[in-house]
Chain A
């Protein structure tokens, strides 16, 4: 029994290692979703860190929990709030890019089933180098200000 499990475990670690290499050294933290009542679209936020030597751009996101996930930017120029689509969001080499309320965010639409505060939602981020990064987002109440408070 042990003989079979160990090589399998080793293979698993190898695959995990390869998967990590394929992400282009991007890691995610402070991932959260602001949950709104009913079928309203939700905003998702995350801090992305690129430890690679080349810039990488976030180009798309997808989740089995939502019909659609779009990259948007909110702006407040001239006292007017507007939202625009973003095709690619660059994360500088050895730098970070922040998706936070009032700025860049993922707009999640058409929830497959109600998402409640406390739930964890897996969203896969896609980058321009072909790599992907699955991230677990914590669902927070409507009146939360960030991933904790």
Chain B
């Protein structure tokens, strides 16, 4: 008679124990809606130049939740659409959204000077940062996240397109890769996951 009672108590305590366990390793247990890449992609690391012409590294953005996206300013359709969607997602977050930065990394450093990038990213959102740098530095960052880009042959007028990865990599405040978003995923899922990430770690 005594034993089942103990068992019942243990059963009652089980969810609590589970909750404590979850709290202990909450980094891997956040109920993300997007593709969870926690532990599968390296921490953010780069040496680039921001849209004010300043040399920056990943450490300069510690404390912010980051959205990393590769694109180029001469891309008239998909890049602006993606940045406009990210802007709307940040608007939906309200005030906490100010702790998010969109890192727009140019895969076309030949044309994307800091000045061009500055005007471009600010046309979408004040929390967007344009990053450019040497082809080698950009390639290193792109390869780090198994992203790819290819410059297509130039047209007769010298213009060219760049084929690039459409993924958006989301990092937590500690620079750890957490979820992967694509322009096709529901916006509310991104907003949901950003809210989860904004509620964790220490604010800068």
* Distance between Cα atoms of A55 and B75 in the complex (Å): 31
| CB-CB under 8 A for A102 and B159, given A40-B74, A76-B166, A81-B166 | no
Chain A min CB distance to B52 (Å): 16
Q: Is A24 an interface residue (CB 8 A)?
A: no
Contact residues in B for A68 (Cβ distance below 8 Å): 157
Binds A, one of B6-14, B22-30, B76-84, B93-101: B76-84
Using an 8 Å CB-CB cutoff, how does the interface string of A8-40 with B read, 1 for contact, 0 for none? 000000000000000000000000001011101
Binds B, one of A57-65, A86-94, A128-136, A141-149: A141-149
CB-based contact A105/B123 at 8 Å = no
CB-based contact B120/A143 at 8 Å = no
Q: Is B148 an interface residue (CB 8 A)?
A: yes
Using an 8 Å CB-CB cutoff, how does the interface string of B161-204 with A read, 1 for contact, 0 for none? 10111110000000000000011100000000000000000000
- Tell which of A42, A79, A81, A143 has the most Cβ of chain B within 10 Å: A81
| CB-CB under 8 A for A80 and B120, given A42-B76, A43-B77, A143-B84 | no
- Identify B76's interface contact among A76, A82, A105, A143, CB under 8 A: A105
CB-based contact A40/B164 at 8 Å = no
Q: Is B144 an interface residue (CB 8 A)?
A: no
- Tell which of B71, B84, B88, B152 has the most Cβ of chain A within 10 Å: B84
Q: Is B33 an interface residue (CB 8 A)?
A: no
CB-based contact B123/A72 at 8 Å = no
CB-based contact A143/B123 at 8 Å = yes
| CB-CB under 8 A for A83 and B161, given A76-B184, A142-B80 | yes
* Smallest Cβ-Cβ distance to A110: which chain B residue: B157
Using an 8 Å CB-CB cutoff, how does the interface string of B25-60 with A read, 1 for contact, 0 for none? 000000000000000000000000000000000000
| CB-CB under 8 A for A76 and B84, given A40-B120, A82-B161 | no
Q: Is B106 an interface residue (CB 8 A)?
A: no
* Distance between Cα atoms of A69 and B148 in the complex (Å): 28
Chain B min CB distance to A80 (Å): 6
Given A82-B163, A145-B84, 6 more A-B residue pairs with CB atoms under 8 Å apart are A34-B76, A34-B80, A74-B77, A105-B77, A143-B88, A143-B125
Name A residues whose Cβ lies closer than 8 Å to a Cβ of B. 34, 36-38, 40-43, 68, 72, 74, 76, 79-83, 101-102, 105, 107-109, 141-145
A-B contact pairs, 15 of them (CB 8 A): A34-B76, A34-B84, A36-B73, A40-B116, A76-B182, A81-B79, A81-B164, A82-B161, A101-B78, A107-B77, A141-B123, A142-B80, A143-B83, A143-B88, A145-B88
